[in-house]
Amino acid sequence: MSHKSVALVTGGSRGIGRAISEKLAELGWDVAVNYVRRADAAEEVVTQVEAAGGSAIAVQGDVSKETDRTGLLEQTLEKFGRIDLLVNNAGIGSPHREDLLKLTAEDWDLVFDTNLKGPFFLSQMAANKMIEFIGAQGIDQGKIINVSSISSYAASTNRAEYCMAKAAMSMMTHVLALRLADEKIQVFEISPGMTETDMTARVSEKYGSLIADGLVPIRRWGQPEDIALAVEAIVSGKFPFSTGQRFDVDGGFHIRSF
């Protein structure tokens, strides 16, 4: 069993997930870096983690598939012998960004399976393993961090399935936090705002203009490193009397104002 704390980061090969994986390595964690297609990108992150003095593996898997979720956890435990942190970061946007009156069941299922069903059942499996390790005195406590979105409360009629899945992830954070508090597992939600990644590249011009015009009080794009810093704050142990908390990393977008 690894003597270091161990994290499984889904969608850890690019964007926000990559920044989180590399930040955890800087903090001395061992990391399982999940990817779906880009093995080369995942291996780049593994190299960065190892350069920071940590140990890492790239684990392929689609969180929307039960067999893949099982494989992610099994490979993490096979390599490191423990799991202290699950970061549910993997997700997809609306495939077609169509008006909700044209939304198809296929797009709905794809988004909900990836952005909600997958994270929930992976959390279920990880929590049960954490409970085993905590009971055996292998680890002191566990943590689950769900990466949601400002779209959990800011509605978009051409991304209805994405907004609803992220809104449900917020409730998922609450129910997991409530159930797992007695098990010494804390659950948190990080809600990123408009963050500069390949996922937002196609709307960068539109939202860049809106941000400059004051849509976000702190007038800049969020960066993946901003979310990674929030993860650092959570895993540092500075919030021992908190669970179910949402951390808004959105430049102040959530503030209602006239």
The CATH number covering residue 114 comes to 3.40.50.720
Q: Write the CB contacts of 13 (distance below 8 Å, at least 6 apart in sequence).
A: 33, 34, 35, 38, 41, 42, 44, 45, 58
Q: What is the pLDDT of residue 178?
A: 98
Integer angstrom CA distances of residue 142 from 122, 162, 169, 198, 245:
14, 28, 19, 31, 15
Percent of the chain beyond pLDDT 70? Answer: 97
Which is more confident, 41 or 59?
Answer: 59
Is position 133 within any domain? yes
Is position 191 within any domain? yes
Identify whether the C-beta of residue 5 lies closer than 8 Å to the C-beta of residue 234: no
Which has the closest alpha carbon to 99: 160, 149, 151, 166?
Answer: 160
Is position 42 within any domain? yes
Average pLDDT rounded to a whole number, residues 165-189: 98
Q: Is 162 a catalytic residue?
A: yes
Is position 253 within any domain? no
Q: What is the pLDDT of residue 185?
A: 98
- 47, two tokens: 């190299």
Identify whether the C-beta of residue 149 lies closer than 8 Å to the C-beta of residue 159: no
Is position 18 within any domain? yes
Report d(CA 258, CA 246) in Å as an integer: 24
Is position 254 within any domain? no
Task: Summarize pLDDT for 109-130 with one digit per residue, the tens.
Answer: 999 999 999 999 999 999 999 9
Q: What is the pLDDT of residue 51?
A: 87
Is position 98 within any domain? yes
Domain count, the chain: 1
Mean pLDDT of the chain: 93
Identify whether the C-beta of residue 24 lies closer than 8 Å to the C-beta of residue 52: no
Is position 35 within any domain? yes
The answer, yes or no, to whether residue 2 has pLDDT greater than 70, is: no
Range of the domain at 208: 6-248
